[in-house]
Amino acid sequence: MKNKENPHRPGWGRTNSALTDVHSNYTPIFVGTRVVGAVKGDTFFKSMRKNHFLQKPPAIAFDIDSLNQAEQAGAIYIEVINRDSGTIYRTTIEHIYEHGKRFNRGHGDQVFLVLDGWIKRKKNGGSQLPLFGE
């Protein structure tokens, strides 16, 4: 994996994201100066380690600004890949806003969606439907 100069923040350093290497036609999504994911087509892709998931409650959280950026870049869906387990979580941004909970634990305004609210699948595997319909 190569390090690439951050195209939207020249001089702010390099990114080291698998998303930037795999996809040449993407829009990076930032929180501050850090790339947290990328939009390709109609999907906001984000890759996380298990220790970055919320523990109480078990959930996936997003900075509100990152969701706004993703929508402006054309995203309707979100896919989060748990790099430790290989599980892929998918839902719509609208579903996160409708069923998620807003919070601020000192790192800016965020929203989380509990893990039961996502469609889950393993890489190259089947899907598990969410508790709430999309």
Please tell me the distance from the alpha carbon of residue 85 to that of residue 56, in angstroms, as a whole number. 19
Contact 120, 114 (CB under 8 A): no
Beta-sheet strands, E only, within 49-106: 59-63, 77-82, 87-92, 101-103
Q: pTM above 0.85?
A: no
**CA 133 and chain centroid, separation:** 20
pLDDT 10s digits, 53-87: 999 999 999 999 999 999 999 999 999 999 999 99
Asked if the structure places residue 102 within a domain, the reply is: yes
Asked if the structure places residue 121 within a domain, the reply is: yes
pLDDT 10s per residue in the chain (134 long)?
344 444 444 443 444 444 444 446 899 999 999 999 999 999 999 999 999 999 999 999 999 999 999 999 999 999 999 999 999 999 999 999 999 999 998 889 999 999 999 999 998 766 555 544 44
The number of domains in the chain is 1
Q: What angle do CA 108, 36, 55 make, to 5 degrees?
A: 65
Where in the sequence is the domain holding 77, given as residue range(s)?
Answer: 18-128
Asked if the structure places residue 90 within a domain, the reply is: yes
